[in-house]
């Protein structure tokens, strides 16, 4: 029986949790005015926008595709929920915004799965199209709500009801955990991974690969729109470029969280935690008094390190792939030191 649980495997598997712990510990120890309820609330609130949107990006990536349109879909959700508020009320407006996001996802999915156009192309296209639609809809100006009742809703969403968790954050956590359980533990959830891991296998096993790809894009659109909508309600206003800065953070977080551009890998929860890690980092740096410039630099360095580390370990792994253990036994211990085994266990 072959299995291996050493430090490297452990670190690799829980990389993102360790990173979060490390960053958090550092900030808690050294950053001024970091470790308090108020600041924790701020962190959770600012993380939740991108964390929820990262669900969709991750699942599309697991299916082996890219969804660059998340950033404008976030803005779309925000703009529509504020725009529809007067006519539909909050609940109706949220449903409409999420449905619009889902529609964007459906279009993406159909173009990718049925028309077989590369997702990179399709979603760059829909990215610009949706951004254009937003501008046309708003005329380029930010939308605001004005009624007193509306502000009450905003306050409810934004004020902590439990420790440092306001309802908006709790919703985000619930949605993420819900999707995590769905993707990890249910049969249709696992099929998303199978489709991304090997489309042909999935198809031969009777898994409708195209449908899963389309659903992944729809989930992505819905999640992005929902996160934008909740955020907009929370601040009672929607800017047309709300999601513009999100794309980079979402991509970075998803990759740091362990998803692969080749598909079949990644976890919604880990992407969310990676967003949280980046937010903690940003926030902590803020407490040091360094500006946003340093945050961008820091997240860039982290992403670059993760990518480099992965590329380098793949590079090393490639060199020893296919080694025969029985041949290695011939070597004396001195030489064996230079040779590492390539076999690792991966969690389901």
Partner 1 sequence: MSEDRGTETLREDPAEVAPNMNEDRTLRQNRFSVLISVLGIYFLAGILMIVGVMVSERFLSAANMLSVVGGVTILGLVAVGAAFVTYSGHFADLSIPTTMAFSGVMAVEALQFGIVAAIITGLLVGLVIGLINGFVIGKFRANPIVWTLAMAFVIRGLMRWIWSNRQIYPEVEGAATGAGQHFVNLYRYHLLGVIPMTVVVLAAFAIVLHFVMKQSSFGRQLQITGASFEAARLSGINVSRNVGLAFLICAMTAAVAGIFLTSLSRVGAYYMGEGYDFAAVTAVVIGGVTLAGGRGSIVGVIGGVLVIGLMRNVMTLMGIDTFAQTIVTGAVFILAVGIQSNSLRRLGRDDA
Partner 2 sequence: MSADSSVQNDIGLALEMTNITKAFPGTIAVQDVTFRAYAGEVHAVIGENGAGKSTLMKILAGAFDDYEGQISINGRAVQLHSPAVAREYGIGMVYQELSLAGPLSIAENVLVGRLPGRKGLFVDRSALIERARSNLARVGLEIDPRIAVEEISQHEAQLVEIAKVLGRNPCILVLDEPTSALSKEEIDRLFDTISRLRKNGLAIIYISHHLPEIFRIADRVTVLRDGRRIDTCQTSQTTTEQLVKMMVGKAVEELFRQRDHEPGGEALRIEGFTRFGFFHDIDLHVRSGEILGLYGLSGAGRTELARSIMGIDPLDRGSLYFEGRAVVPRSMRQMVDEGLAYLTEDRKLSGLALRLSVRDNVVASTIPSLCRNGWYNGSAARRITQSLIERLHIYPPKDSVTVANLSGGNQQKTLLAKWLAVKPKILILDEPTRGVDINAKVLIHRTIEQMAQQGTAVVLVSSDLPEVCSLADRCAVIRMGHVIGEVSGSEITEERLLMLANGEGIEKEAGE
Q: Which residues bind partner 2 (CB under 8 A)?
A: 1-3, 185-190, 193-194, 196-198, 200-207, 260, 262-265, 319-320, 322-328, 330-331, 335, 338-339, 342-348
* Residue number with CB closer to partner 1 (73 or 126): 126
Residue 127 interaction partner, one of partner 2, partner 1, none, beta carbon < 5-8 Å per kind: partner 1
Token match 């985000």: residue?
A: 172
Q: Minimum distance between the CB of residue 318 and partner 1, rounded to whole angstroms?
A: 9
Residue 340 binding partner per list partner 1, partner 2, none, with a CB distance cut-off of 5 to 8 Å that depends on partner kind: none
- Shortest spacing between CB 121 and partner 2, in angstroms: 18
Nearer to partner 1, 322 or 333 (CB): 322
> What tokens does 290 get?
């360094």
CB of 122 to partner 2, least distance (A): 21
| Residues near 223 by beta carbon (within 8 Å), at least 6 away in sequence | 52, 53, 55, 56, 101, 175, 179
Q: Which two tokens stand for residue 71?
A: 């950033």
> Using CB distances below 5 to 8 A depending on partner kind, what does residue 121 bind out of partner 2, partner 1, none?
partner 1
Backbone angles phi, psi at 237, to 5 degrees: -160, 155
Question: Which whole-number Å values give the CA distances from 96 to 142, 217, 270, in the listed order?
Answer: 19, 17, 29
Distance between CA atoms of residues 285 and 97, nearest Å: 34
Shortest reach from residue 262's CB to partner 2, in Å: 8
Q: d(Cα 172, Cα 218) in Å, to the nearest integer?
A: 18
Choose the contact partner of 122 out of partner 2, partner 1, none; CB within 5 to 8 A by kind.
Answer: partner 1
**Minimal distance, residue 260 CB to partner 2, in Å:** 7
Q: How far is the CB of 19 from partner 1 (least distance, A)?
A: 15
CA 285, 287, 290 angle in degrees (round to 5)? 50
| Contacting residues toward partner 1, per CB under 8 A | 66, 111, 115-118, 120-122, 124-129, 131-133, 135-136, 140, 198-201, 203, 248, 251-252, 255, 261, 291-301, 303-304, 307-308, 310-312, 314-315, 321-322
b/e map of 62-88 (b: 16 or more CB within 10 Å)?
bbbbbbbbbbbbbbbbbbbbbbbbeeb
Identify which of residues 73 and 236 has a Cβ nearer to partner 1 in the complex: 73
CA atoms within 13 A on the CB side of 139: 3
Which of partner 1, partner 2, none does residue 330 bind to, with CB < 5 to 8 Å depending on kind?
Answer: partner 2
């Amino acid at each position: 029986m072959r299995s291996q649980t050493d430090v490297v495997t452990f670190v690799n598997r829980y990389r993102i949790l360790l990173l979060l712990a490390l960053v958090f510990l550092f900030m808690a120890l050294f950053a001024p005015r970091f470790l308090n309820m108020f600041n924790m609330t701020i962190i959770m609130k600012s993380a939740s926008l991108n964390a929820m949107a990262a669900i969709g990006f991750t699942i599309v990536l697991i299916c082996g595709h890219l969804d660059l349109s998340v950033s404008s879909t976030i803005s779309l959700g925000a703009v529509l929920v504020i725009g529809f508020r007067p006519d539909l009320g909050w609940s109706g407006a949220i449903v409409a915004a999420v449905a619009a996001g889902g529609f964007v996802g459906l279009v993406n999915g159909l173009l990718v799965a049925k028309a077989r156009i590369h997702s990179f192309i399709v979603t760059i296209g829909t990215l610009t199209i949706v951004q254009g639609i937003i501008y046309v809809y708003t005329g380029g100006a930010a939308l605001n709500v004005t009624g007193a009742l509306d502000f009450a809703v905003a306050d409810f969403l934004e004020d902590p009801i439990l420790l440092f968790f306001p309802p908006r954050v709790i919703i985000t956590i619930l949605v993420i955990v819900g999707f995590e359980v769905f993707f990890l533990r249910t049969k249709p959830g696992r099929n998303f991974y199978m489709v991304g891991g090997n489309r042909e296998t999935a198809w031969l096993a009777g898994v409708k690969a195209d449908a899963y790809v389309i659903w992944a894009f729809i989930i992505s659109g819905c999640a992005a729109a929902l996160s934008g909508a909740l955020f907009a309600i929370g601040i009672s206003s929607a800017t047309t470029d709300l999601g513009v800065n999100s794309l980079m953070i979402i991509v970075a977080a998803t990759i740091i969280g362990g998803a692969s551009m080749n598909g079949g890998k990644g976890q919604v929860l880990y992407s969310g935690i990676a967003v949280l890690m980046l937010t903690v980092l940003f926030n902590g740096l803020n407490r040091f008094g360094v500006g946003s410039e340093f945050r961008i630099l820091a997240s860039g360095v982290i992403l670059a390190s993760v990518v480099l580390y992965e590329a380098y370990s793949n590079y090393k792994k490639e060199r020893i792939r296919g080694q025969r253990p029985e041949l290695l036994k011939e070597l004396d211990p001195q030489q064996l030191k230079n040779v590492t085994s390539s076999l690792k266990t991966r969690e389901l």
